[in-house]
Amino acid sequence: MTKVKKADVIVIGAGLSGLHAASLLKRNGKRVVLLEARDRVGGRSLNHQFANGDLVDVGGQWIGPGHDQMYELLKQHQLKTYPLYDGGKNLIYLRQKITEYSGTIPKLNIAQTLQLGWMLWRFDKLVSGINPAAPYEHAQASKWDSMTVQTWINRNSISETARKAFTIVIKAVFTVEPKELSMLHALFYAKSNCSLDYLISVNGGAQQDRIHGGSQGLCLALAKQLSEELELNHPVTLVEHDQDGVTVTCKNGAVYSAAHLISAIPPNRLLRIDFDPIMPSTKDQMWQRMPAGSCIKCVAQYETPFWRDKGLSGQSIGLDDDLLVNVTFDNTEKGKTSGLLMGFIEGDSARYWGQKSDADRKQAVLSVFAKYFGQQALTPIDYVDKDWSSEEWTRGCYAASFGVGGWTEFGRHLATPIGRIHFAGTETASDWYGYFEGALQAAERAVNEVLELIKKRRG
């Protein structure tokens, strides 16, 4: 007979949200079990070590102004941040030609620049009226949730080049094609993270700061304090629940019971767990409408950040159709000698290139880096890429997105508990959705729900 291990609360998922939830519960004197399917902690945060010992984030990496809890937690664990390199000129690659520019908006001709600037302004004008806690209550919610972002792009620009540039912005933020994305979700996401301008900015924006030693370092620090509570290699297969509590069965046969459960895994992973009784149809169908984005993160390591010698920031945007990498950044860690160029393959391109061999993909990525920064980019000293769609316990990044109809039909159920089951993870956050800060805030909300119910029962 299988021995059932008991706790006050079971947390599923040892990404940042699950780790934070378990830490808060332990701090409040609760017996916690933290179950993680992988052989590591961090979820969508992951460090890679190059041959020379340097570390690089191949998952989530950025924090910026307003991410107050994230900065405070890093401070508590004596982890420091540094600004993303933003010196020098940016590049735009258009019609096989490189042009330098400064600022956020790439340098196009006057008409194209005006069109793109108007689209960015118009989008953020719509964003300003959204309530991120209830986007489905907006007077135009049904209209926006019935159209894709692609439809909005087509209606708001007559310039093909401006449309391409705005499309790349959307792909860089959401890692999906505009044709896949609800306009209401795009507006919600931008408002949840201040604005679209914030999401695409470096100084004062979402790409402002990095974490020394990589973002997974924070997860490792949290896990160290949870050594007795954490169980790695424990994929959850079954959750049985009733008015008295929950019983969780793992793939390896381990069984746990508790009064409450907090799930801190993405929606697509929740669909792979059996619930008894089954989840309400609204919850299950909502998760079906929240696919993860498609993203391959690519990083080339060089002896030095040679592009800086040319007065370049390492930031580029490519508008030509044959470019599999449309956006790049200087990902060099402050204080390190070697230079890092990072680019994303997103949406349709990620799905296509994810089927190619590692060698073919590497060659293709480096050829694009060379178009941006010259032949020197073809000969890195090391290289890594991470296809998050092929990651077994993630199957996509950065975060889940609603397609048309998702928010108005199911959005109000996003974070609603089901009996003794509560939901954390960045996809359940109304503020900072998709970011580390959202993961932390969602964890705190779920923990507060649990503590309040425990308090009521005892009262």
58: domain CATH number? 3.90.660.10
Q: Does 406 lie in the same domain as 280?
A: yes
Among the three residues 362, 387, 412, which one is the final residue of a domain in this structure?
387
Average pLDDT by consecutive 10-residue portion of the chain (459 residues)? 90 98 98 98 98 97 98 98 97 96 89 95 98 98 98 96 97 98 98 98 97 97 98 98 97 98 98 98 98 98 98 97 96 97 98 98 98 98 98 96 98 98 98 98 98 90
Of the CA atoms within 13 Å of residue 409, those in its CB half-sphere come to 18
Q: What is the CATH number of the domain that holds 22?
A: 3.50.50.60
> Do 327 and 210 lie in a common domain?
yes
> Do residues 165 and 21 both lie within one domain?
no
And the tokens for 89?
């000129």
- Distance between CA atoms of 361 and 286, rounded to whole angstroms? 34
Inside any domain, residue 100: no
> Which SS3 state, helix, strand or coil, does residue 327 take?
strand
369 within 8 A of 325, measured Cβ to Cβ: yes
Same domain flag for 375 and 309 = yes
CB crowding 290-313: b at 16 or more within 10 Å, else e: bbbbbbbbbbbbbeebebbeeebb
Count CB neighbours of 21 within 10 A: 32
Same domain, 281 and 412: yes
Task: For helices 216-224 and 16-27, give the axis angle rounded to 10 degrees.
Answer: 30
DSSP state of 3: P
Q: In terms of domains, do 127 and 187 share one?
A: yes
102 part of a folded domain? no
Residue 101 lies in a domain: no
Q: Return the pLDDT at 444.
A: 98
The amino acid at residue 415 is A
Q: What ranges in 134-204 are assigned the alpha helix state H? A: 141-145, 149-155, 160-174, 183-192, 196-199
Q: Which pair of structure tokens corresponds to residue 55?
A: 């570390």
User: Can you tell me the distance from the alpha carbon of 238 to that of 62, in angstroms, rounded to the nearest whole number?
Assistant: 34
Q: For residue 396, is it within any domain? A: no
CA pair distance 233, 135, nearest whole angstrom = 37
Q: Could you check whether the bond before residue 398 is cis, i.e. omega within 30 degrees of 0?
A: yes
Domain count, the chain: 3
pLDDT score of 458: 83
End residue of a domain, out of 169, 199, 229: 199
Report yes or no: 204 and 176 within 8 Å, Cβ to Cβ: no
pLDDT score at 27: 98
Do both 233 and 339 map to the same domain?
Answer: no
Residue 98 belongs to a domain: no
Q: Are residues 174 and 299 in the same domain?
A: no
Tokens in use for 359? 């060698």
CB 53 within 8 A of CB 29: no
Residues 287 and 320 in one domain: no
> CA-to-CA distance for 171 and 59, rounded, in angstroms?
16
Whether residue 406 sits in one domain with residue 267 = yes
Domain match, 282 and 302 both: no
- DSSP 3-state assignment of 399? coil
Sign of CA dihedral 192, 194, 197, 200: negative
| DSSP string for residues in 237-260 | EEEEEETTEEEEEETTS-EEEESE
Question: Is residue 272 in some structural domain?
Answer: yes
How far apart are alpha carbons 311 and 309 in whole angstroms?
A: 5
Residue 122, in any domain of the structure: yes
Give the separation between CA 207 and CA 298, rounded to whole angstroms. Answer: 17
What's the pLDDT at 1? 60
Q: Residue 169's domain spans which residues?
A: 107-199
Residue 83: which H helix or E strand, with range? Answer: strand 81-83
In 3D space, the residue among 270, 262, 260, 281 whose CA is nearest the CA of residue 237 turns out to be: 270
Q: Which of 38, 200, 10 is nearest to 120 (CA)?
A: 200
**Which CATH number characterizes residue 134's domain?**
1.10.405.10
In the numeric block, the tokens 């909502």 are attached to: 286
User: CA nearest 220: which of 42, 79, 89?
Assistant: 42
The residue count of the chain comes to 459
Instruction: Note whether 350 and 291 are within 8 A (CB).
Output: no
Cα separation, 10 vs 443, whole angstroms: 13
Between CA 176 and CA 174 the distance in angstroms is 5
Query: Are 412 and 279 found together in one domain?
Result: yes
Question: Do the domain assignments include residue 23?
Answer: yes
